[in-house]
Structures are given as structure tokens and as C-alpha cells.
Amino acid sequence: METDAPMSLNTSAKTLPATGSEHSATAPVSIHDMTVAYHRKPVLWDIDLDFPKGKLTGLVGPNGAGKSTLIKAVLDLVPKASGRVTVFGQPYQRQRHLVSYVPQRESVDWDFPVNALDVVTMGVYGKIGWFRPVRKPHRELAMAALERVGMADYARRQISHLSGGQQQRIFLARALVQDAEIYFMDEPFAGVDAATEKAIIHLLHDLRSAGKTVAVVHHDLQTVSDYFDHLIMLNMRVVAAGPTREIFNRENLRKTYGGRLSLLDQAAQAIISQS
Amino acid sequence: MNWTMLDTWIVIAGVLSACSCSVLGNFLLLRRMSMMGDAISHAVLPGLAVGFLLTGSRSSLVMFLGAAVVGVLTAVFTQWINRFGKVDEGASMGVVFTALFAVGLVLIVQAADAVDLDPGCVLYGAIETVPLDTVQLGSLSIPRAVLTLAIVFAINLGVIIVFFKEFKICAFDEELATTLGIRSAWMHYLLMTLVAVTTVASFESVGSILVIAMLIVPPATAYLLTDRLQSMILLSLGFATLSAIGGHWSAMAVPPIFGFADTNTSGMMAVVAGLLFSFAFVFSPRQGLIARFLKPKTN
């Protein structure tokens, strides 16, 4: 299995019905026929997607479905075996400044000798450019972002002395300070306290009102209908993509999560209780 | 014990070498690549040998070029083996630097008849002979090694200051750097080149063992005492300086107390650096053993 070349797998994938290969030229983010493999073992096959503008898009799927990998491949953080990504019709590489990324909290070393303000300020390093130091206006921008996530009082605190939820909010502030059009967030709700969860939802709604495009990897099926207008259900392939109320149903959940019955029951209950 | 001008030059060489290493070591430590310094300091050997065999010259420029090339190659090979061979980074580093070091030893032994490139000297240096080889700079006669080390230290410090925010972001969050369009690979290779050049500059005076100690121990000590990157770098320079001065002084002063002849300076520099680290480890106000004992963590 492992020695199978991605190409042969590609051809088998083609026999499946295409999931919307018509791309809008103005979509904030379009993924064109993207396949991603780790050590030749494909983890994402033939992904063909548009992210709609001004919508909160949820990305759901079981563990190992390739949710994080999808984001990372879009952002050039993992190599693509094939396919390409456009941002407002242009190659991503030319549009980096329009896209910001909130990685999983575990992706960095929180014992690093910096404080909260330092971390948020890193969000503007790209704009500052080479050979120029960080100056007061940059720190003021970072401070404003910290205020938006309710963390201004913790600006000077070393990051290891923050709770998990507070660390998550630092990451959100760092994405905000980039003033991007598109936000990719990898499980921002994972392991956070209620206050942080509320702050994140508030922020997501703010971003949507400002016409920004937001895509969020999400685990908790119970809250999917509450949080997201648009949904991508993923399990190595795109199982379904569209408005949440149209596609978030029993059949698609079964296709996405396979035979994991307990999980399915839980999800089915969530849907029934909402309708 | 009598302190002479020779001792002053030895200490200056030691301080410059220790500081050149420490300023880079902060970033190796924070990127959890401490062993990369170890790897590169061994791997540069074939670079030196090939540089010599190709040009027949032992001039500093040839040595530095050879070292810089091999330093970058070490980083590149390590990444290749790591990525394509499914071997973890530590192991691939081990493969690369031992192989390169072995090639270097063979080359040096081959060339040894013709030239004074001595493997033993590479390992523990000969800081005591630093003042003997001098160059004339205006009216001042200063040891060649001191001049070289001063230039290397100035370059290292300059590069770290100019690219401070890039080194910082690449050490903390490489993925963020990439999404912001900052080439973290370039910063990585720049750092590796500096480490390689610094290693070679320090070989003659303090030897590769001390290079490894000075790359890591002063930054590790500083790391225990502060939680800001700038202060960590400044503190590490302070500890590097203390180790060099304290090392030479104690090499002269301590053994006679017990009735021995004075001992090797670079060895004592590493010992002093280790002692400073132990003090920080025990007495650090926040992370030290005593602080932790007195104030158990609540969360």
C-alpha cells in the first residue's frame, strides 16, 4: 500500500463524482485538483474547493482526515503532490499578505523567552520588511489586537505563564494584526475555557461582518450548526461542501465518519435536537 | 601567580571566541538544535582539509570558505536524510557529521606529512600559543588570532542585530515566518554558515570542544535567568566573558593551591561555564531548584 505511487491513486480517484470543479474567479480561496502525500502515502486526494467570501466555513472530518494538512498545503507549509491554490484569482505566493493563519496551539514552544506582546508583534514582521527594526507604531498595532481579544492586561506576561485559552487568544491577536482578508484557523476551540470560546465566537462574527473569509478546522459536531454558515466535510476527499443547513445531515456524516457509530449517534442527536 | 601581557592577550582571545559562539548559540538552543553546533564543529574538518589540498595554502580566507561550504552542506544533508530517508533529525545529524569528520581526519592524516594540521590541536586548541603569532596593525602589534576573532565576533553580532526579528520569528514559529513570506530556510543556512566560520576561527585558539561548550552553556545559563530574548542574548555574552576570564585565572591560580602545575585554559573555561550554569540551575529566582522548592507550582 505504501509503495503505491500517488499517480495510480489519482486515477482511481477520478472515477468518483467531481465535487464542483467550476471555480469562481473571484473566490477568496480556490483549491484546484490538489493532492497531498506524506512519504508517498496520499493524505488528500483531488481536492477541488472554493471558499465563499464573507462566510464562516467549518472544516470537519475524523482524525486523520487531512483537515490540518489541507490548510497547510494551501499555505505552502507542506508540499503538494499536484494541484494549485489561488487567492482572489491569483497564485497564493503573490497574495500571502491577504492570508493569515492560526496554527494549533501545540505547534510552538511556549517556554520561548518572549511575552504576549512580542508574539502578537510578530504578525507584522512581514509588513515591516527586511533590515528594519520593530518600532512603536508596530507595537501599538499589536496592543490594539490584544485589546480586541481581551488580553491587553497580559501584554507583558511571559507566554508560558498564560492559560491555554489565553495562549489561543494571543494567536488570534497575532492573526488579527496581519489585517488579512482570509483567516485559516486550526482548531482554535480545542481545550479552551468558556470565556475564550465566547471571545473567539465574537471575533468570528466580527470578521464575518467585516466581509472577511474565515475557515476553521473544528472537532465538535454539536456546535457545527451554531458556528458555521458553510461547511466542508472531509475524509481524505471532499465528501460534501456547501451551506451547513443543506449538507450537514445523517447521510453525509455517515460518509465522512464511516462506521464510527457512537460518534454518529452523538452527531445525529445534535442535528435532531436542533431541527 | 604573575599576570603578564601574554595573559591579557590569551584572555582577550578567549572572551572574543566565547562571545562569538554564545551569540549564535542562543538561537541554536531556542531552535532545539544545540547538537547542530556539535555536528558542524566536527563536520568542517574536511572543508579545511580540502581547502588546503586545493590551494596549498593555510590562509584564513581559504579555511573560512572551506568551513562555510561544509557548514551549509551539513545542514542541507541533514535535512535531506531527515526528509527523504525517514530518519529523525538527531540521527541524520549523527550520520552526516561523523561521516564528514571521518573524511576530514583521513584527509588530514594524508596531508599531515606536508602540513601542520593537527587533529589534536583541532580538538582542544592551543590558546596558550595565541600571543606568539602577531600581526602589525599600525603601531600596534596584536596576535593574529585576536584580530580574526574580533572580526568574526563583529560579523556575528552585526548579523544577529540586523536580522534580529527574522531570527526570532524563525526560532519561535517557522510556519508563521513562511506564511509571512520570510524565508526561514535562508535564515537557517545563514546561521549554519556563521557557526561554521566561528568554529574555524575558534579552533586554533580554544579548540572544538570548547566551541561546543561556548555555543550552548552560556545561552543555557542565560535562558534560566530571563524570559526576554534580548536579555538572554546579553546575559549569555556576560557569562561567556566571565567563563573566559575566570577560566584563564583559575587555570593559573587553582592547581597551584593543590600543589599542581597550572593547567589548560580552554578546559578551565568550559569548567567555569559549567559552574555558572550549575549556580543558575540551583539559584535562578524563577526556575531554579530552590525557587521551585520554596514555591511549588499551583497549576
Residue B299's pLDDT band (cuts 50, 70, 90)? very low
CA distance A148 to A174: 11
For residue B218, give the C-alpha cell.
Answer: 552560556
Angle at A158 between CA A153 and CA A159, to 5 degrees: 90
Give the model confidence (pLDDT) of B258-281 as tens digits. Answer: 877 777 788 889 999 999 999 999
Does residue B132 have a pLDDT over 70?
yes
Note down pLDDT in tens along chain A; length 275 residues: 444 444 444 433 333 444 445 687 789 999 999 999 987 788 999 999 999 999 999 999 999 899 999 999 999 999 999 999 999 999 999 999 999 999 999 999 999 999 999 999 999 999 999 999 999 999 999 999 999 999 999 999 999 999 999 999 999 999 999 999 999 999 999 989 999 999 999 999 999 999 999 999 998 999 999 999 999 999 999 999 999 999 999 889 988 988 664 555 666 666 656 55
| Chain A residues touching B179 at Cβ < 8 A | 75-77, 96, 99-101
pTM: predicted TM-score of the whole model, two decimal places:
0.88
* Cell numbers linked to B159: 548579523
Distance CA A139, CA A152 (A): 12
pLDDT given for residue A247 in this prediction: 95
Residue A120: Cβ within 10 Å count: 30
What pLDDT is recorded for position B180? Answer: 95
Our CA angle for B223, B12, B62, nearest 5°, is 90
Q: What whole-number distance in Å separates Cα of residue A233 and Cα of residue A247? A: 9
Whether B161 shows a pLDDT value over 70: the answer reads yes
Phi/psi at A21 (5° precision): -90, 0
CA dihedral (A183, A189, A194, A195) positive or negative = negative
CB B266 within 8 A of CB B212: no
Q: Is the pLDDT of residue B118 over 50?
A: yes
Question: In chain B, whose CA is at the least distance from the CA of A75?
Answer: B179
C-alpha cell belonging to residue A113: 523567552
pLDDT at B293: 78
Amino acid at B18: A
Nearest CB neighbour to A125, from listed B165, B227, B229: B165
**Which CATH number describes the domain made up of B5-206?**
1.10.3470.10
Give me the pLDDT at residue A41, please. Answer: 85
ipTM exceeding 0.85, yes/no: yes
What is the β-pairing status of strands A213-217 and A56-60? parallel
Nearest to A125 among B32, B180, B229 (CB): B180
pLDDT(B205) > 80:
no
Interchain pair A115, B227: CB under 8 A: yes
Rg of the Cα trace of chain B?
A: 20
Q: Which of A121, A130, A216 is nearest to A178 (CA)?
A: A121
